[in-house]
């Protein structure tokens, strides 16, 4: 005989069904707080047991711990995500397990995530925390789709407000960066190192002229370069969708200068470390190699190029990603206002002294 019982949850309660099948007692959730609906499910179970058609796995909740689900998740992710992205996601998931333990996905609740948040904010900055929230929310969305979860607990986790930071480099900062790298190169003792740093210098300038991501630049192949059409046809992109990138005159000069091997002599790790070292020596703080891509995008926006076009060049699948570059610089706003001085005002306001001493009046002098 099956019975209904209430079980408390964070959001109230739902009914569970307690019954015996093949000599064993089973307790499953009805996933509803509606008594009539729960009773219908109970009668359905009783009927199937009587007819011999009942299948327990159709009603049982699927259970899996975080690490075991992660194995399934990353095996699936390998088919559509870059290895670098998967590597970063693994770090985020491992930190979750370190903070809350390798528990069943269904045991993760808001209290657990508050504890995770407290621990992580002792170790990371708010911007990194927000990135982890986004990553884990997507991670558990897959668990929900695969029915290991009925709800995603990370939907209740809010991101922290992060102080806006300037993502792009100014012309003076770019100039200082390049001058510093030239000094580092000239101080190098071996010809091989000087040659590699020169290629690195060309690489940074190439990113500034194309807006390519680091991996897109280091893995660029000759077959992706079309100098006749003055464009690149990038095949190895972040979202694995090919895109065309127009080339500036300077970008073409760099390609012609470095030869057919392009940037194959540079590794992702080397260009990142060299960028960081150069910034440190130049006393430029708050910048990453990705800042060159930000700088490229900001320059286009400042020139009045529409956001949709910039989005296409950068290869963003969502235009909202491009909008972070659309924050107008103070210099751009001043330049826009200065344009007004080049035009005659349609209306001029003149203040005139009235007939009575001390009285002031106003008159609108309309010009055609």
Read off the pLDDT band of 339 (50, 70, 90): low
Give pLDDT, residue 346: 45
246-262: average pLDDT: 94
pLDDT tens-digit series, residues 110-128: 999 999 999 999 999 898 9
Cα separation, 30 vs 39, in Å, equals 9
Banded model confidence at residue 352, pLDDT cuts 50, 70, 90: very low
- 41-87: pLDDT as tens digits: 888 888 888 888 888 777 777 788 999 999 999 999 988 888 888 99
Mean pLDDT of the chain: 85
- In eight-state DSSP terms, residue 81 is S
Q: How confident is the model at residue 348 (pLDDT cuts 50, 70, 90)?
A: very low
Question: Measured in whole angstroms, how far is the alpha carbon of residue 84 from the centre of its chain?
Answer: 13
The tens digit of pLDDT for each residue in 125-143 reads 898 999 999 999 999 999 9
Q: What is the pLDDT of residue 306?
A: 84
The residue behind tokens 């996905």 is: 105
- Eight-state DSSP code of residue 159: P
Higher pLDDT, 323 or 175: 175
Question: With 80 as the cut, is the pLDDT of residue 190 above it?
Answer: yes
Q: Please count the helices (runs of H) and the strands (runs of E) in the chain.
A: 14, 8
pTM for this one?
Answer: 0.59
């Amino acid at each position: 005989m099956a019975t209904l019982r209430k079980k408390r949850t964070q959001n109230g309660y739902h009914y569970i069904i307690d019954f015996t099948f093949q000599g064993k007692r089973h307790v499953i959730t009805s996933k509803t707080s509606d008594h009539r609906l729960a009773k219908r499910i109970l009668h359905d179970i009783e009927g199937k047991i009587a007819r011999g058609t009942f299948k327990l796995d159709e009603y049982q909740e699927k259970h899996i711990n975080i690490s075991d689900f992660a194995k399934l998740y990353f095996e699936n992710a390998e088919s559509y995500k870059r290895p670098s992205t998967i590597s970063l996601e693994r770090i985020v998931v491992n930190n979750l397990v370190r903070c809350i333990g390798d528990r069943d996905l269904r045991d993760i609740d808001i209290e657990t995530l508050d504890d995770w948040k407290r621990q992580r904010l002792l170790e990371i900055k708010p911007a990194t925390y927000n990135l982890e929230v986004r990553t884990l929310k997507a991670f558990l969305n897959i668990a929900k789709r695969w029915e290991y979860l009925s709800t995603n607990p990370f939907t209740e986790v809010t991101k922290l407000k992060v102080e806006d930071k300037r993502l792009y480099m100014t012309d003076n900062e770019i100039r200082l960066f390049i001058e510093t790298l030239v000094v580092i190169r000239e101080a190098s003792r071996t010809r091989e190192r000087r040659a590699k740093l020169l290629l690195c210098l060309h690489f940074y300038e190439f990113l500034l002229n194309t807006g390519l991501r680091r991996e897109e630049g280091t893995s660029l192949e000759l077959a992706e370069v079309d100098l006749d059409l003055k464009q690149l046809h990038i095949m190895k992109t972040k979202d694995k969708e090919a895109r065309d990138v127009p080339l500036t005159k300077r970008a073409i000069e760099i390609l012609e200068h470095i030869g057919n091997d392009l940037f194959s002599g540079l590794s992702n790790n080397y260009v990142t470390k060299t960028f960081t070292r150069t910034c440190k020596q130049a006393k430029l703080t708050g910048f990453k190699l990705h800042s060159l891509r930000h700088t490229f995008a900001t320059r286009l926006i400042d020139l009045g190029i529409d956001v949709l076009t910039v989005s296409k060049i950068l290869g963003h699948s969502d235009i909202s990603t491009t909008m972070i570059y659309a924050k107008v610089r103070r210099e751009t706003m001043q330049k826009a206002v200065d344009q007004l001085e080049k035009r005659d005002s349609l209306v001029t306001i003149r203040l005139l002294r009235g007939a009575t001493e001390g009285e002031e009046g106003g008159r609108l002098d309309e010009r055609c």
